[in-house]
């Protein structure tokens, strides 16, 4: 089946630094990818839709200048958390729709971010 990878799987950084998370579709192309954030014991909250060749679409309440998304190619989307603060510590998960009717989405394994 289709595989989505994320890198890194976990990262610890100091407050004020920026962190980049990569999401790759390994054996299929994805013109659209989705970024989610999950706090402990909570559900996944959709942050934004990443669109290849155009600007990302952000969900209400998500700061686009804080969470920069770049869909550089048909297999890569990146999420950069700029000037990270402890409240940005979370589990970040990306997904990509499969080919065809795109009913199924393939999720990456997630990236755990801890900001000290």
Chain positions contacting other proteins, by CB under 8 A: 32, 34, 36, 41-46, 49, 91, 93, 95, 97, 102-110, 112
Closer by beta carbon to other proteins, 41 or else 82:
41
List of residues 6+ apart from 65 with CB closer than 8 A: 82
Distance CA 35, CA 19 (A): 15
CA gap 56, 53 in Å, rounded: 9
CB 89 within 8 A of CB 81: no
Shortest spacing between CB 23 and other proteins, in angstroms: 12
Task: Report the nearest approach of other proteins to the CB of residue 83 (Å).
Answer: 26
The distance of closest approach from Cβ of residue 22 to other proteins in the complex, given in angstroms and rounded to an integer, is 15
């Amino acid at each position: 089946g289709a595989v989505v990878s994320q890198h890194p799987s976990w990262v610890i950084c100091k407050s004020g630094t920026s962190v980049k998370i990569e999401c790759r579709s390994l054996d299929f192309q994805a013109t659209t990818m989705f970024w989610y954030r999950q706090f402990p014991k909570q559900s996944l909250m959709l942050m934004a839709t990443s669109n290849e060749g155009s600007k990302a679409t952000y969900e209400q309440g998500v700061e686009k200048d804080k969470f920069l998304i770049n869909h550089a190619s048909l297999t890569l989307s990146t999420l950069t958390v700029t000037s990270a603060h402890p409240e940005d510590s979370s589990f970040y998960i990306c997904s990509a729709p499969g080919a065809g009717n795109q009913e199924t989405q393939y999720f990456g394994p997630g990236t755990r971010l801890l900001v000290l």
